[in-house]
């Protein structure tokens, strides 16, 4: 079970809405986690959320039921208490041995040195282990210097945030929420400028005929000929999309040497299920509106809309109306529209009811 699913089950159990089957799944997971470190990949915020949810539910169970049931309830939650102890230990270690902020942009340098940026407005200098300055962060943009340093850096953007990136060759990249990009510090002594993307990003690439620019987006490669384009390649999505705004790109799959060439105003789509690469004419503005903070939805499945909202607003959305999953919707929202306004518009326009639960630092939206 993923930690996201466990979070949802823990919250449902706290609210008393877990089915018997869900309770058994939750209890079973609690028992299994005693025998392995299943919390290693959890973020601090998630650990705190689960800790509080479980503690409150345990307290409520013990204090509200009669004496014979107290022991039964506490026995059932014995494994959950083990989780709480593991969580508490981990949180103590993090707080006392590191300065990892919640929901911060993360930069990992060659060799493992890390920087965390809860604030991306204030100027910060990025140095490697030997004290050489590689880049600086200021006004929501990470800018690399034209340096002779080698090695790769990894930049991760959490849900609810975006960040600009300027590479050492002056190519600019706008990274959307929930994205991770791997790239060289400099492009000296390389035959091509290759970067790897998981998530979504908009590229404005500096032309260099001697060093082609290549974006590896999971199952496809995008070869760039000096251009502006958008790549949408989230791991959990069913397809990967490349939309060309200006210039020219060639899109190819890993096992296919044929290249699909795009002209401005065209989109290449790769279906993970069918393993098929196709192209179609589109309005690029629909696919790049996120850069300016707008939310544009055109002929999009409800499930895909919910994923987009989770990333954009850093919320968890639980859909209790599965019949809506494949329904197609259209909508457009101005820059910095609050999530409550977005959900209310769906309620008014499409009669989709919802409930907002704000718990600790996390917001959960339940579609009813």
Confidence at residue 326, expressed as pLDDT on a 0 to 100 scale: 94
Quote the CA–CA distance of 38 and 189 in Å, as a whole number.
41
What the block records as the tokens of 268 is 């290449």
Quote the CA–CA distance of 12 and 23 in Å, as a whole number.
9
- pLDDT mean across residues, the chain: 82
- Adjacent-strand bridge partners of 144: 135
| Lowest mean pLDDT, pick from 62-71, 186-195, 302-311 | 62-71
Q: Is residue 33 over pLDDT 60?
A: no
3-class secondary-structure state, position 99: coil
- For 196-205, give one letter per residue: b (16+ CB within 10 A) or e: bbbbbbbbbb
- CA 362 to chain centroid: 15
Confidence at residue 43, expressed as pLDDT on a 0 to 100 scale: 52
3-class secondary-structure state, position 46: helix
User: Which residue has tokens 């820059």?
Assistant: 335
Q: Is residue 106 over pLDDT 80?
A: yes
What the block records as the tokens of 153 is 């850096």
| Lowest mean pLDDT, pick from 33-42, 139-148, 237-246 | 33-42
- Adjacent-strand bridge partners of 229: 203, 244
The model's pLDDT over 214-233, given as tens digits with 9 standing for 90+, comes to 999 989 999 998 799 999 99
- For 99, other C-beta atoms within 10 Å of its C-beta total 9
**CA angle, corner 237, sides to 315 and 261, nearest 5?**
130
Regarding predicted confidence, which is higher, 15 or 167?
A: 167
3-class secondary-structure state, position 174: strand
3-class secondary-structure state, position 13: helix
58-82: average pLDDT: 46
Confidence at residue 209, expressed as pLDDT on a 0 to 100 scale: 87
76-84: average pLDDT: 49
Which secondary-structure segment (H or E) carries 362? strand 362-367
Q: Is residue 163 over pLDDT 90?
A: yes
- Adjacent-strand bridge partners of 242: 231, 268
CA distance to 138, 207, 236, 319, 328, per residue, from 348 (Å)? 40, 48, 29, 17, 16
Which secondary-structure segment (H or E) carries 184? strand 180-184
Confidence at residue 90, expressed as pLDDT on a 0 to 100 scale: 37
Confidence at residue 3, expressed as pLDDT on a 0 to 100 scale: 57
The model's pLDDT over 174-208, given as tens digits with 9 standing for 90+, comes to 999 999 999 999 998 889 999 999 999 999 999 99
Phi, psi of 61 (to 5 degrees): -65, -45
CA distance to 79, 81, 176, 194, per residue, from 34 (Å)? 7, 10, 36, 42
- For 170, other C-beta atoms within 10 Å of its C-beta total 13
**CA angle, corner 145, sides to 213 and 191, nearest 5?**
30
**CA angle, corner 334, sides to 139 and 120, nearest 5?**
15
Confidence at residue 16, expressed as pLDDT on a 0 to 100 scale: 62
- Place 87 in a pLDDT band, splitting at 50, 70 and 90: very low
Q: Is residue 67 over pLDDT 50?
A: no
Closest-CA residue to 157 (of 133, 182, 138): 182
Regarding predicted confidence, which is higher, 95 or 326?
A: 326
């Amino acid at each position: 079970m993923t930690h996201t699913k466990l979070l949802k089950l823990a919250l449902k159990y706290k609210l008393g809405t877990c089915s018997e089957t869900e309770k058994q799944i939750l209890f079973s997971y609690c028992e299994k986690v005693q025998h392995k470190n299943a919390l290693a990949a959890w973020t601090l915020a998630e650990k705190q959320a689960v800790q509080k949810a479980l503690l409150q539910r345990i307290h409520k169970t013990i204090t509200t039921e009669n004496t014979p049931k107290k022991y039964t309830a506490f026995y059932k939650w014995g494994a959950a208490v083990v989780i709480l102890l593991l969580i508490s230990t981990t949180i103590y270690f993090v707080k006392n041995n590191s300065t990892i902020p919640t929901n911060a942009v993360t930069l990992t340098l060659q060799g493992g040195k890390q920087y965390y940026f809860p604030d991306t407005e204030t100027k910060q200098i990025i140095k490697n282990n030997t004290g050489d300055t590689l880049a600086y962060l200021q006004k929501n943009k990470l800018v690399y210097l034209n340096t002779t340093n080698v090695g790769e850096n990894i930049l991760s953007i959490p849900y609810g945030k975006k960040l600009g990136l300027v590479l050492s060759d002056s190519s600019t990249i706008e990274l959307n929420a929930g994205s991770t990009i791997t790239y060289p510090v400099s492009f000296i002594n390389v035959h091509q400028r290759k970067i790897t993307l998981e998530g979504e990003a908009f590229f404005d690439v500096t032309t260099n005929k001697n060093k082609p620019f290549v974006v590896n987006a999971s199952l496809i490669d995008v070869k760039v000929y000096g251009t502006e384009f958008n790549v949408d390649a989230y791991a959990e999505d069913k397809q990967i999309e490349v939309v060309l705004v200006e210039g020219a790109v060639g899109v190819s799959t890993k096992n296919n040497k044929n290249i699909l060439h795009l002209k401005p105003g065209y989109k290449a789509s790769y279906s993970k299920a069918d393993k098929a690469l196709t192209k179609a004419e589109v309005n690029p503005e629909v696919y790049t509106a996120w850069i300016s903070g707008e939310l544009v939805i055109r002929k999009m499945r409800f499930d895909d809309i919910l994923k987009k909202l989770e990333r954009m607003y850093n919320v968890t959305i639980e859909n209790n109306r599965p019949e809506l999953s494949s329904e197609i919707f259209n909508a457009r929202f101005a820059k910095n529209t609050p999530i409550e306004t977005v959900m209310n518009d769906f309620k008014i326009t499409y009669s989709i009811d919802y409930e907002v639960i704000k718990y600790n630092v996390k917001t959960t939206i339940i579609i009813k």
